[in-house]
């Protein structure tokens, strides 16, 4: 009879195996980390982080996992931009056309605005439950090391991954008798309402807030208002809205975003404050922080009201949130063409994925992942579409056109019949039987 292990021995032995296993996993885990990210990349990331992270006056831990650092307004990342070394902060816009327009509004419009202000006030950011940034500071979402490590390159982090161009698309205009050549900001993929042909100094819209599915970690989906100028191969744009962008934000929450570029997203521009450029003045809204509540089908329509406009005195491009918070601006020093005005405005959705035009198509949704639903609003929708040209007040653009480059995947529906104020519905699921 061979020697038999007692129960006690067996348990002890198993314990050892488990401990050894844990040690091995730990050992290879560490090795894996080192192998996965080269020493050079780790150093590069650390250098970038020390450049990005400014000393915080106060830090707020948000229950959604984000850390918000309150940074001295004069030490914000924008001043790392070589063109902004001597920049003097403009603390508030010198002119606000939304206020100007109020006097000419009808009683109905005033009530409507009040309702909108109330509902948009309800869309806020979760970090504010856990504290606030004092006056004289700005809330900055802390960028974690792992986001940068996972980015394809430290330089690419926070940028748009594709270099978009603006192909010239000819449309038969619906409201004018001449054919127009429309500059579309080509993205991977878009479903938009656009206007051009005038000099635009501002654009505004009420964007319904959803959390669409994002299929792969390097896909993203946004809904936004965007002003553009410059040649189609290297256009300049400023935009604002919401985004679900796991590779930039590390999760799939819907977040408030601003974005800019001066070369069709080839080498310049990025989301929020990840590269220097945007000068923030508000201590209330953190760029890139989550927003809530999110709309649910047939529920209350939560929306963000975004207004991007040029200050007539300083030429700064301001971003206003919820018709009352002026978040900050892009100084004219960043631009060439946009220094003067914008030549086109777009409202709508954009999806980026490396799996577009491939089979299977990405399942990343636009809007809320449904095709345009002008009846129940159970899709992406932008209302109260306004532009600001050389006249004093905000108005609906005189000419608009819709554009969808993959209408079987993401479509558009411009609803203007029987409506005093036209509405733009857009979006879709991506992959579906019509979009294999
Ligand atoms: C900032 O000011 C200094 C001193 O007046 C000047 O030499 C420099 O060129 C300025 N930089 C920019 C970007 O304007
Ligand atoms: C944040 O605030 C919420 C609500 O007041 C609270 O339940 C939560 O514990 C706080 N979280 C942190 C990390 O302080
Ligand atoms: C618009 O372009 C189309 C195609 O190029 C052409 O057939 C049509 O006549 C043009 N319409 C006008 C009003 O110029
Ligand atoms: C339509 C479009 O813009 N397609 C581009 C999407 O992005 C991929 C990857 O960068 C490009 O190869 C496509 O041309």
- Integer Cα distance of 93 and 309 in angstroms: 10
> Looking at ligand 2, which atom is closest to the CA of residue 61?
13
Q: What is the mean pLDDT of residues 79-106?
A: 81
The pLDDT, as a whole number, for residue 101 is: 60
* Residue pLDDT, tens place only, 235-260: 999 999 999 999 999 999 999 999 99
In the predicted model, what is the mean pLDDT of the chain? Answer: 84
Q: What is the mean pLDDT of residues 380-402?
A: 92
Regarding predicted confidence, which is higher, 172 or 209?
209
β-sheet bridge partners, residue 181: 170
- For the whole prediction, is pTM greater than 0.75? yes
Nearest-Å Rg of the Cα atoms of the chain is 24
The pLDDT, as a whole number, for residue 229 is: 94
Residue 424 backbone phi and psi in degrees, to 5: -120, 115
Written as six digits, the tokens of 96 are 């606000």
Question: Running DSSP on this structure, what letter comes out for residue 254?
Answer: -
Residue 216 CA to ligand 4 centre (angstroms): 16
Question: Running DSSP on this structure, what letter comes out for residue 201?
Answer: S
The pLDDT, as a whole number, for residue 418 is: 85
Regarding predicted confidence, which is higher, 288 or 97?
288
C-beta separation of 148 from 275 below 8 A: no
The pLDDT, as a whole number, for residue 372 is: 98
- Integer Cα distance of 282 and 294 in angstroms: 23
Residue 130 CA to ligand 2 centre (angstroms): 6
The reply to whether ligand 2 has any atom less than 6 angstroms from the CB of 179 is no
Which of 79, 82, 86, 332 gets mutated to test ligand 1 (max ligand atoms within 8 A of its CB)? 86
Highest mean pLDDT among 167-181, 265-279, 413-427: 413-427
* Residue pLDDT, tens place only, 1-33: 444 545 555 445 454 444 444 444 444 444 445
The pLDDT, as a whole number, for residue 97 is: 67
Percent of the chain with pLDDT over 90: 59
Please state the domain extents for the chain.
67-427
DSSP string spanning 320-347? EETTTEEEEEE-GGG-SGGGT-EEEEEE
The protein residue whose alpha carbon is closest to atom 7 in ligand 2 is 63
Q: What is the mean pLDDT of residues 353-371?
A: 90
**pLDDT-based confidence at residue 99 (cuts at 50, 70, 90):** low
The pLDDT, as a whole number, for residue 39 is: 85
Written as six digits, the tokens of 300 are 């209350």
Regarding predicted confidence, which is higher, 267 or 169?
267
| Strands (E) located in 230-371 | 236-244, 255-261, 279-280, 303-310, 317-321, 325-330, 342-352
180, pLDDT greater than 50: no
- Integer Cα distance of 350 and 221 in angstroms: 6
Measured from CB, residues less than 6 Å from any atom of ligand 1 are 83, 85-86
The protein residue whose alpha carbon is closest to atom 11 in ligand 3 is 179
The protein residue whose alpha carbon is closest to atom 11 in ligand 2 is 63
The pLDDT, as a whole number, for residue 29 is: 46
Regarding predicted confidence, which is higher, 154 or 357?
154
Percent of the chain with pLDDT over 70: 80
179, pLDDT greater than 90: no
The reply to whether ligand 3 has any atom less than 6 angstroms from the CB of 359 is no
Residue 172 CA to ligand 3 centre (angstroms): 7
* Residue pLDDT, tens place only, 41-90: 888 888 888 888 889 999 999 999 999 999 999 999 999 999 999 999 99
Residue 282 CA to ligand 1 centre (angstroms): 26
The reply to whether ligand 3 has any atom less than 6 angstroms from the CB of 106 is no
SS3 category, 288: coil
The protein residue whose alpha carbon is closest to atom 7 in ligand 1 is 86
Residue 88 CA to ligand 1 centre (angstroms): 12
The pLDDT, as a whole number, for residue 305 is: 94
The pLDDT, as a whole number, for residue 58 is: 96
SS3 category, 179: coil
The reply to whether ligand 3 has any atom less than 6 angstroms from the CB of 217 is no
Which of 168, 171, 172, 176 gets mutated to test ligand 3 (max ligand atoms within 8 A of its CB)? 172
Residue 201 CA to ligand 1 centre (angstroms): 28
Written as six digits, the tokens of 290 are 């989550």
| 45-59, 84-98, 152-166, 340-354: least confident range | 152-166
The reply to whether ligand 2 has any atom less than 6 angstroms from the CB of 59 is no
The pLDDT, as a whole number, for residue 107 is: 67
Distances (CA, A) of 36 to 28, 30, 225: 11, 10, 38
- Integer Cα distance of 341 and 335 in angstroms: 10
Residue 67 CA to ligand 2 centre (angstroms): 12
SS3 category, 79: helix
299 burial via Cβ count (<10 Å: 0-12, 13-18, 19+) = exposed
The pLDDT, as a whole number, for residue 16 is: 46
């Amino acid at each position: 009879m061979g020697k038999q292990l007692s129960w006690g021995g067996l348990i002890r032995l198993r314990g050892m195996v488990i401990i050894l296993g844990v040690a091995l996993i730990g050992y290879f885990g560490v090795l894996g980390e080192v192998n996965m990210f080269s020493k050079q990349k780790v150093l590069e990331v650390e250098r970038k982080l020390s450049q990005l992270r400014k000393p915080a006056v106060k830090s707020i831990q948000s229950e959604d996992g984000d850390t918000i650092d309150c940074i001295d307004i004069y030490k914000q990342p924008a001043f790392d931009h070589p063109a902004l070394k001597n920049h003097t902060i403009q603390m508030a816009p010198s002119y606000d056309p939304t206020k100007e327009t109020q006097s000419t509004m009808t009683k109905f419009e005033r009530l409507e605005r009040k309702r909108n202000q109330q509902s948009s006030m309800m869309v806020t950011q979760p970090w504010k439950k856990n504290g606030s940034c004092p006056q004289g500071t700005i809330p900055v979402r802390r960028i974690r090391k792992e986001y940068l490590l996972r980015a394809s390159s430290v330089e690419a982090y926070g940028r748009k991954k594709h270099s978009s161009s603006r192909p010239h698309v000819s449309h038969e205009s619906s409201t004018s008798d001449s054919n127009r050549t429309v500059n579309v900001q080509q993205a991977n993929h878009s479903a938009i309402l656009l206007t051009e042909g005038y000099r635009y100094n501002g654009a505004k819209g009420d964007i319904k807030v959803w959390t669409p599915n994002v299929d792969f970690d390097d896909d993203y989906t946004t809904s936004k208002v965007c002003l553009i100028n410059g040649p189609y191969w290297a256009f300049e744009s400023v935009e604002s809205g919401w985004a679900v962008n796991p590779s930039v934000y590390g999760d799939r929450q819907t977040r408030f975003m601003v974005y800019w570029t001066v070369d069709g997203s080839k080498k310049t521009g990025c989301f929020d404050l990840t590269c220097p450029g945007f000068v923030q003045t508000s201590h209330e809204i953190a760029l890139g922080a989550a927003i809530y509540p999110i709309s649910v089908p047939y529920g209350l329509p939560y929306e963000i009201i975004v207004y991007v406009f040029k200050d007539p005195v300083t030429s700064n491009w301001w971003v206003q949130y919820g018709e009352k918070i002026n978040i900050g601006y892009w100084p004219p020093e960043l631009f060439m063409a946009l220094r003067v005005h914008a030549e086109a405005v777009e409202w709508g959705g954009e999806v980026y994925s490396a799996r577009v035009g491939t089979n299977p198509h990405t399942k990343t949704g636009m809007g809320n992942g449904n095709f345009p639903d002008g009846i129940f609003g159970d899709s992406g929708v932008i209302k109260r579409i306004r532009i600001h040209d050389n006249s004093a007040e905000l108005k609906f653009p005189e000419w608009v056109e819709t554009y969808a480059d993959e209408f079987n995947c993401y479509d558009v529906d411009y609803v203007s019949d029987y409506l005093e104020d036209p509405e733009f519905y857009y979006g879709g699921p991506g992959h579906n039987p019509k979009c294999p």
